[in-house]
Structure 1
Amino acid sequence: MKQCSYLDFLAAFGVGSAHPGGFTVTKQLLAQFSLGPYTKLLEIGCGTGRTASYIVKQYGSVVSAVEMNETMVQKARKRWNKDGVNIELIKGSIEALTFHDEVFHIVLGESVLAFTNKRKAIDECYRVLQRGGVLLVSEVVTEQHLSVHEEEQIIALYGMEQLLTEQEWIALFQEAQFTTVRVLGGGTIAETISAHIEQPEWDISDFISQDLYEAWISHEQILQQYKHRLGHRIFMCQK
């Protein structure tokens, strides 16, 4: 199976809110912040654009988005045209953002940084945030020790460089010079599944190759096998 085929699966099936907790957690998280028409927000790895569209419609904020996958880019634009929202979309890497320094009040990422060169991506998020701005991300964590073989199995499917514990994530954010790093929530995969309310959205491409179905099956197997040993955390990092 080719590297990153899980991300290709998400793009081909057009899965919106595939991150832990889904769209329910997204709305609960955003409600904790005073978003409004003057809020400048960047969503990194916007996928099919569900969250970005919601923020514009619900809060009237000025939203920009970055996405690397061309299929996701097309599906996001289709959604936004249908929803009648105006969102700046840049096709590019989170590791080399094209925005000027200190532009945004909030940078939001939902299960995105784990798939990047974390050091570069976090540094870029810090750079484009205004002083006092906030990085809000939900990321996968290891809850318990994994053997080398187990970790290799997981990162091979998802195309990650490595898995991190909660404390290792916090250390990365602190190294990037964020003044405050807080954990706002999270839990194991098992806990997330039991609390899940809203199902993901789907925007399925006309052609789905067999290897993407296999990636889906492998993903479901990983969830079941490691549901007590993998989880996620929501980090709030203030510049």
Structure 2
Amino acid sequence: MKQYSYLDFLAAFGIGSAHPGGFTLTKQLLAQLSLDQHTKLLEIGCGTGRTASYIVKQYGSSVSAVEMNETMIEKAKKRWYKDGVNIELIAGNAEELPFRDEVFHIVLGESVLAFTNKRKAIDECYRVLQYGGTLLVIELVIEQHLPVHEEKNIVTLYGMEQLLTAQEWVIFFKQANFKTVRVLGGGTIAATTSAPVEEQEWDISDFISQDLYHAWIAHEHILHQYKHILGHRIFICQK
């Protein structure tokens, strides 16, 4: 029997902007990037394609996207066809980006790097950025480390390799040779749940395995149990 993860649940239910802060935070951050029709942007882990479509429609930028989940890819393509936007979508992952060096002005990730081999993925983001380019990511952080068995339960559910504090994230970015790393906003789950966000978006698959609900219940349990320990930060890294 397949062991479903939280990401499988997101894909099956087509939940867009599931990252902390939701689509409200996404739009606030994009508004600060001076995007225009000359901007070449790569979104890693585009999910159902909500952010990529918004960027093209709002700013006219040239957007490429990478996604590895087949269900997400199908739903992103369906969205973009409906929205009438032209976006290059490649099935792949952030650890081996299928692009040549120094292509993009911006690489964007919304709660994606946490689910990768961070060393490989961050190095790849650096590689495909032009000099002076920006890596902008919203990522899960742990405010302080928990006992090993508790962290193992969390990373197992989410399919992660490890949990990082904000300071540990910064070390990874600096080891990849980013010149500057800024840490903005965020906070614990408990501190940010009251912030206003746009209503969640759904694109539910025709068949939903009952086991997917178990993954969601486990996710909700972790959010409640560790609401003062888990949170998010925004990292803006300049090449």
Q: Same fold (TM over 0.5)?
A: yes
CA distances 1:156-210 after superposition (whole Å, capped 9, x unpaired):
1000000000010000000000000001221111122111421221000001101
Paired position in structure 2 for 1:72: 72
Shift of 1:4: 5.8
Question: Is 1:166 aligned to residue 166 of structure 2?
Answer: yes
Structure 1 stretches (4+) deviating beyond 3 angstroms?
A: 1-4
Figure out how many residues of one structure are paired with residues of the other and give that number.
239
What one-letter code is carried by the residue in structure 2 that aligns with 1:100? R
Instruction: Give the distance between the partners of 2:86 and 2:55, measured in 1 at CA.
Output: 11
Percent of aligned pairs with the same amino acid: 80
Instruction: Give the distance between the partners of 1:177 and 1:197, measured in 2 at CA.
Output: 34
Instruction: Give the distance between the partners of 1:199 and 1:212, measured in 2 at CA.
Output: 22
TM-score by length of 1: 0.98
Which one is further off, 2-11 or 51-60? Answer: 2-11
Matches within 5 A, 1:19-98: 19-98=19-98
**Helix, strand or coil at the partner of 2:194:** helix
Task: List gaps (5 residues or longer) in structure 2.
Answer: none
| Contact 1:49 1:76 (C-alpha < 8 Å) held by counterparts | yes
Paired position in structure 2 for 1:103: 103
**Helix, strand or coil at the partner of 1:94:** coil
CA RMSD, Structure 1 to Structure 2 (Å): 1.1
| Contact 1:3 1:159 (C-alpha < 8 Å) held by counterparts | no
| Contact 1:3 1:158 (C-alpha < 8 Å) held by counterparts | no
Q: 1:132 to 1:4 in 2, by over 3 A?
A: farther
**Helix, strand or coil at the partner of 1:144:** coil
Paired position in structure 2 for 1:119: 119
What one-letter code is carried by the residue in structure 2 that aligns with 1:90? I
| Contact 2:94 2:121 (C-alpha < 8 Å) held by counterparts | yes
| Contact 2:106 2:129 (C-alpha < 8 Å) held by counterparts | yes
What one-letter code is carried by the residue in structure 1 that aligns with 2:82? K
Paired position in structure 1 for 2:128: 128
